[in-house]
Amino acid sequence: MPIITVGVKRLSSFLGRSFPMNRLAEALEELGCDVEDTVEVVHYGCPACGMVTEQLPHAAPPRRCEYCAIEQDQPLAEKARLEAIRLDLLADRPDLFDIGGLTRALKGFLGLTAGLPGYAAQPGEVVVEIDARLSRPETYRPFIFCAEVEVPPMTSEDLVDLMHFQESLHWGIGRDRKLASIGVYDLDAIVPPIRYTLLDPDGARFAPLGMGSTPMAGREILQSHPKGRAYAHLLAGHTAYPLLVDARGQVLSMPPIINSEQSRVKIGSRRLFVDVTGVVEDATRNSLYTLVSSLAELGGTIRTVRLEGPAGACQVEPELAPRTTEIVLDEARSWLGLPLSDEQIRGLFGRMRLDAAIAEGRAQVTYPRLRSDIRHPVDLFADLAIGVGYANVPKRLVASSTVSRERPEEAISAVARQAMLGLGYWEIVSLVQTNERDHFAAFRIPVGEEHVLIENPKTVETTMVRTHLMTGLLDTLSRNRRRALPQRFFEIGNVVHAGGDSDTHTREQRRLAFVVCGPDAGFAAVRSVADAVCRELGCEAAYRADSHPSFSAGRCAAFAAAGSGGRSVAGRIGEIHPEVLVSFSLQHPVALGEVELCPLP
């Protein structure tokens, strides 16, 4: 997970009161932040742009400015040493990704203020015109939400915080820009209206950030610019690239890759234009609301932007009106195990920067739009628990106790795991969700009807539930094909088939699969492993010749093994077919075995 560094002096200045570093670190831990350490950090100043680069004392002084990309022979000059708190970011709370969000939360938690923070957006004059072609599959990036924010003159520390916050949101909400990406610009360098349109990959040229004044075409940026190479896969297959330009034709950015040099935010900038573009509406909205609310917490004034879409569609953003949901107070008390009074619950919500109107055993809880993590009453119960403080919850012995025992599938899995580790195999854990291309076509298996499809998959890579364990093993070999040979991996996990008499109309099974890759990998290698596993399970295997599309003809066998106590297993072993090896870019022989350990109840 990404780590951010928060200066104690700077955080105290926004809180309006000085706090010792240890007290702030303790409060952040109690809020649910993962405090990694309290440290001293060194600020180095760039002689060209005046920006600050931050490093730990034991690191070598930098020679390159991470903001303007200037590089020099001598290290950058040291400017200051500051006390700081290092935090591991938690993806479920993007509102705590920066100093503004931490300030908002700490003000309530430390008793400096209480209740819902208000972030009203004032009417603005900026207009963004949206090209209808951005909704087509070949140029798909249809969602855009924007805001104008007037802030106190930006300092180098403000710019560093903003840059880091932007990248943290890219990670936490945008999923590394896959779902949404953010651009922030100096509005005084822009002439509205702004157009969200398309760029010919080899057409108009502009100077991207970090490349000075050198103009580059879109395709050239994807091939030559560091950010372009890192995120080129997000525009793979696009016939034209998304583009933001102003009324003069000046390029603002090519989302989701890079902003232009001309519209960069600088020290002293006061008017910011913020856009978030994406392929998922909620992620795009939440990124904008979280960012502008944080800027408002640091003294910014939010102004709306008019978004004009095709066919006369129009909307005004950001829409920061808070949301309301209802909880049953007795349910909250039951979940927490605490006899909280109505007034205590109201006070705890206020401490967590929420409002609660309580009547007739229910609470109408109002929360800001930036709290994208609140989706269920349990999320609000968790806020109450944080408000109480987990350390303050009375510790009591449970009224009843039970004696646990190992589930049957875990008992047999433990024996199989110890056997495989003893044979020198490395265990992997792969995803349960996969897709028909990687799971069937790559293995030469006809697509049948016994697999479970996911009705609303998040990505094209996860459209079904696996029916065998071979995909994960061969994908692991493919990713490690440049490593030393031989390679031996195994996995123990569940597979699911459609059909059966269960409530879900599926049959779930625990399996073991193992694979060896190398010049000498063959049938004998996996036969010896299958024999060893069966022996450890107290079974004796009986083999017969078998055929399977994924294995070479004449080099495949099925087996069944029975032992004392009614335990029985079955499986298949063999040498992987050359066409399957080509599907996974493997150049050496591969032998594989898969064992059905037991059905799951």
For 438-466, the pLDDT digits (tens) are 999 999 999 987 899 998 888 888 999 99
Does residue 89 carry a pLDDT above 90? no
CATH number at residue 336: 3.30.56.10
Does residue 191 carry a pLDDT above 80? yes
| Cβ neighbour number for residue 453 with a 10 Å cutoff | 11
Does residue 68 carry a pLDDT above 80? no
In contact, 349 and 355? CB cutoff 8 Å: yes
Does one domain contain both 272 and 351? no
Does residue 284 carry a pLDDT above 80? yes
Does residue 48 carry a pLDDT above 80? no
Tokens 């140029």 label which residue? 139
Distances (CA, A) of 408 to 20, 189, 190, 400, 412: 53, 68, 67, 25, 6
Closest CA to 299 of 108, 114, 161: 161
Four-residue CA torsion sign, 112, 114, 118, 119: positive
> Residue 1 has what pLDDT?
65
> DSSP secondary-structure letter at 592?
E
Separation CA 120–CA 284 (nearest Å): 19
pLDDT, mean of residues 235-258: 94
Does 400 map to a domain? no
Residue 83's DSSP bridge partners are 40
pLDDT, mean of residues 170-183: 94
For 534-578, the pLDDT digits (tens) are 999 999 899 999 999 999 999 999 999 987 767 889 999 999 999
Does one domain contain both 241 and 360? no
For 130-155, the pLDDT digits (tens) are 999 999 999 999 999 999 999 999 99
Does one domain contain both 490 and 352? no
Does one domain contain both 440 and 502? yes
Strand 52-55 with 34-45, pairing: antiparallel
Does 105 map to a domain? no
Does one domain contain both 546 and 419? yes
Does one domain contain both 287 and 339? no
Separation CA 255–CA 248 (nearest Å): 19
Residue 146's DSSP bridge partners are 275
In contact, 568 and 499? CB cutoff 8 Å: no
Does 103 map to a domain? no
CATH number at residue 225: 3.50.40.10
Does one domain contain both 346 and 378? yes
Does one domain contain both 126 and 230? yes
Does one domain contain both 275 and 148? yes
Does one domain contain both 74 and 127? no
For 530-539, the pLDDT digits (tens) are 999 999 999 9
Does 108 map to a domain? no
Does one domain contain both 429 and 543? yes
Binning pLDDT at 50, 70 and 90, where does residue 313 land?
confident
For 477-529, the pLDDT digits (tens) are 999 988 999 999 999 999 999 987 778 889 999 999 999 999 999 999 999 99
| Cβ neighbour number for residue 420 with a 10 Å cutoff | 23
Does 398 map to a domain? no
Q: Which two tokens stand for residue 398?
A: 């449970």
Does 395 map to a domain? no
Q: Domain end: 317, 337, 356, which one?
A: 317
For 124-134, the pLDDT digits (tens) are 999 999 999 99
The chain-wide mean pLDDT, for the chain, equals 92
Please give the residue range of the domain that contains residue 501.
408-599
Helical ranges in 61-146 per DSSP H: 99-109
Number of structural domains in the chain: 4
Tokens 């000059």 label which residue? 77
For 3, the 3-state DSSP assignment is strand
Burial zone of 530 (CB within 10 Å; 0-12 exposed, 13-18 middle, 19+ buried): buried
Does one domain contain both 151 and 299? yes
Q: Residue 486: is the preceding peptide bond cis (ω within 30°)?
A: yes
Does residue 288 carry a pLDDT above 90? yes
Does 97 map to a domain? no
Closest CA to 586 of 521, 494, 508, 493: 521
pLDDT, mean of residues 353-369: 95
Strand 122-130 with 301-308, pairing: parallel
Separation CA 91–CA 62 (nearest Å): 29
